[in-house]
A and B are shown apart, each in its own frame.
Chain A
Amino acid sequence: MSSTIPARATAIQVERLEKRFGRFVAVHDVSFTARSGEILGFLGPNGAGKSTTLRMLCGLLRPSAGRALVDGIDVARDPESVRKRIGYMSQKFSLYQDLTVAENLRFFGGIYGLAGAHLTARIRYALQMAELADHAGSLVSELAGGWKQRLALGCAILHEPRILFLDEPTSGVDPLSRRRFWDLIHELSGAEVTCVVSTHHMDEAEYCNRIALIDRGTLVALGSPAELKRRSLGGELLRIECTPLDHALTALHDCALARDVAVFGSTLHVLVEEAGASREAIVSYLAEHGIRNARATRIDPTLEDAFVQLVGRGERPPNPVRQPVAARAAGARA
């Protein structure tokens, strides 16, 4: 793959990765690369195949087809070596609840082969990083969710791995703790640690350097949040406020100006070629269809808009815009 990515080392290289469970294809034809120190977000709904992909990269699942190199090592051929080089946070909290914070750190330090002064120093660092120094003696079962997640991260970085896989690390955690958690991830990224983070929170995806949109086992698009927003839509967004919403939605589906329509809360988002010219036209189109209270405002697309545009909403046939957009998004990295 010819690349305009700077000469930083490639940390992860995935080529046409596939995972089947019986007849069910959980991950299909996923390819991407991540460079050293990058924060790569896996964004997608539950069951999209994010965890399955991460588990294959950790050597926890054997790929059915394709190849994944983690720090240059083939995960299917030598999962043992991969395990030494990575840190992993599973989706379900999986530290020992009946052990204290310090005991968990000491255990995982030992498992990763650390000992003596080095282990003590790393435990001290992890406690400080996770802001748990005052709670080293607390049983993990007594910690709040956000603290548990920071401890899990602390356990995953004891052996100074160059690559971290974090599977929905902030699920079930309050917003402030989530924010702090992402600060930690950015710190690690600054220290050249590659972080692959899965999430289904759109707002969290904004913290990533690049986002891989994953839906129904396939990689739909890959790019920076700004790129995805700008280029995925292939147009501009109008927000329509009107009642009744469902009438307007049906009407706009047949409107030539509206490339796509989606419900966002109590408003509609309409994708148009050019917002300035279309605004009035849409309002009068709706008026013609019996909706006279419509107001149209030009808005900046959010990642959610991009996601909806790229992934579609399942019940509708694929949007004709989708293919070229996906191709353009893919082109963004090449």
Chain B
Amino acid sequence: MKARRISAIAIKEVLQVWRDPRSLMMALLVPVMQMLLLGYGVNLDIAHIPTCAYDEEASPDSIDLLKHFQASRYFHLVANLGSERQIADAIDRGRCKLAIVIPADFSREIAMTRHASVQAIVDATDDNTATLATAYARAVVQGYANDVQADLALRLAQAPAPAAIAEQSRVWFNEDLDSRNFIIPGVVALVLALVGAQLTSLTISREWERGTMELLLSTPVTPMELMIGKLLPYFAIGLVDAGICLGFALFLFAVPFRGAFATLLFTTSLFLIVVLGIGYLLSVLIPSQIGASQMAMFATIMPISLLSGYAFPIDQMPAAIQALTYIVHARYYVTILKAIFLKGSGVAALWAPIAALMVYAAVVALLAARAFRRQLA
């Protein structure tokens, strides 16, 4: 392996990228667009659930309960309905996902028995949203009940009966329980994997398509030299892309960052080597630029968005699918990024995913060097 040959190839690649400003712009703009789209688009939090109310009583008590719903950021009261039938209609038409029905004897029941019921009708087409909506609704009603009790106690001039066990929970790492904090680091991994594989998926196929490969093969350059020389400039572009993505995560989406910059740089570089290597491997295997580029897209977007755990937790998947996630390179980087961002973990705590990425990089490099055709036929 000769440094001279590697640098000759690297310089040539830089010149070619430089002479083709469109592809350079793409390499820098695509991550910006993807960060914005995925960053804003993927949000597992539920807020402003469109809610209808059917208040049969319309008493001060029932209106007070509905005000509790209005005050909650999880619900957005879109309409007051006049009949039971209208509820079904509103849900069918998608005007609301939740309907609150307050019976005509609501305040009387409270006054008489201290036990009143409210009905919540939920559109459970999206079961995740339905479960959360029910839970949030229960919490709102509970809050209202507490207020009523406190009020009553005040009126009767006696202390309210304290609850037997009070739960004091404290949330770690993502204190706001904001799903964005959890997802954005994953989005960074997804975008880098996509862009990185695209960057290098064209390098070898371009030489074949332009007819420059035959001459290159007649020279003493080795597959390893060619690979390193070609990957170096794209590694630099990849680092810029990583800077863009991480910058968006930190400053636009304001994800808390508790780790060390050096850990972030080291692990990001490692991940870049893996994704650039995968693009290069595809480029070696598929001699047409379009084919290689499409394959890079296909091989990246599906497995990563589904199996990397960036949005959908891996430990909730069936065991067979969980096993499958181990071959998804982004899985390790998602784990690393979430840990660095939210927990401030260092290299020592992250040794396992780091080692996995190292093995991945070595295997991809070896495969690419072996797959490289040194002859024409």
A residues near B (Cβ < 8 Å) are: 21, 55, 58-62, 79-80, 83-84, 86, 88-90, 92-99, 103, 106-115
Contacts and interface: CB of A to CB of B under 8 A. Distances in A.
Contacts of A97: 210
Nearest to A155: B215
Contacts of A94: 210-216
Contacts of B20: 98
Interface of B: 2, 4-5, 7-9, 11-12, 15-16, 19-20, 210-222, 374-377
Contacts of B218: 58-60, 83, 86, 88, 90
Contacts of B376: 55, 60-61
Contacts of A99: 12, 15-16, 19
Contacts of A21: 377
Contacts of A95: 212, 215
Contacts of B221: 111
Given A61-B375, A111-B9, A93 B15 contact: no
Given A95-B212, A99-B12, A60 B217 contact: yes
Contacts of B375: 59-62, 79
B212 A79 contact: no
A79 B374 contact: yes
Contacts of A111: 5, 8-9, 216, 219-221
A110 B219 contact: no
A107 B214 contact: no
B24 to A, nearest CB: 13
A92 B211 contact: yes
Contacts of B9: 107, 110-111
A88 B220 contact: no
A144 B211 CA distance: 18
Given A59-B375, A94-B212, A110 B8 contact: yes
A184 to B, nearest CB: 18
B214 A112 contact: no
Contacts of A112: 219-220
B11 A107 contact: yes
A159 to B, nearest CB: 9
A83 B377 CA distance: 17
Contact of B215 (A61, A88, A114): A88
Contacts of B219: 83, 108, 111-112
A113 B212 contact: no
B219 to A, nearest CB: 5
B7 A96 contact: no
Nearest to B225: A111
A98 B21 CA distance: 12
Nearest to B20: A98
Contacts of A80: 220, 222
A231 B377 CA distance: 38
Given A60-B218, A98-B16, A110-B8, 19 more contacts: A21-B377, A59-B218, A60-B376, A62-B375, A88-B218, A89-B215, A94-B214, A94-B215, A96-B16, A96-B210, A96-B212, A98-B15, A99-B15, A103-B12, A107-B11, A110-B11, A111-B219, A112-B219, A113-B5
A86 B214 CA distance: 14
A185 to B, nearest CB: 18
B202 to A, nearest CB: 14
A17 B69 CA distance: 88
Given A94-B211, A95-B212, A109 B377 contact: no
Contacts of A90: 211, 214-215, 218
A110 B5 contact: yes
A113 B2 contact: yes
Contact of A109 (B8, B16, B213): B8
A59 B218 CA distance: 7
Top 4 A-B pairs, shortest CB-CB distance: A110-B8, A88-B218, A94-B215, A83-B220
A115 B374 CA distance: 25
A98 B377 CA distance: 27
A306 B209 CA distance: 39
Most A CB atoms within 10 A — which of B5, B9, B217, B220?
A: B220
A103 B13 CA distance: 11
Contacts of A83: 218-220
Contact of A98 (B4, B5, B11, B19): B19
10 contacts: A60-B375, A61-B375, A61-B376, A61-B377, A80-B220, A80-B222, A86-B218, A88-B218, A98-B19, A106-B8
A54 to B, nearest CB: 10
B370 to A, nearest CB: 16
Contacts of A55: 376
A68 B67 CA distance: 93
Contacts of B374: 79
A84 B210 CA distance: 24
Contacts of B4: 110, 113-115
A99 B218 CA distance: 19
A93 B211 contact: yes
A112 B219 CA distance: 7
Nearest to B8: A110
A318 B374 CA distance: 40
B214 to A, nearest CB: 5
Most A CB atoms within 10 A — which of B7, B20, B222, B374?
A: B374
A83 B5 CA distance: 14
Most A CB atoms within 10 A — which of B8, B213, B219?
A: B219
B22 to A, nearest CB: 12
A55 B213 CA distance: 13
A97 B207 CA distance: 11
Contact of B8 (A79, A84, A92, A107): A107
Nearest to A104: B12
Nearest to B7: A110
A140 B221 CA distance: 22
B18 to A, nearest CB: 9
A164 to B, nearest CB: 11
A80 B5 CA distance: 15
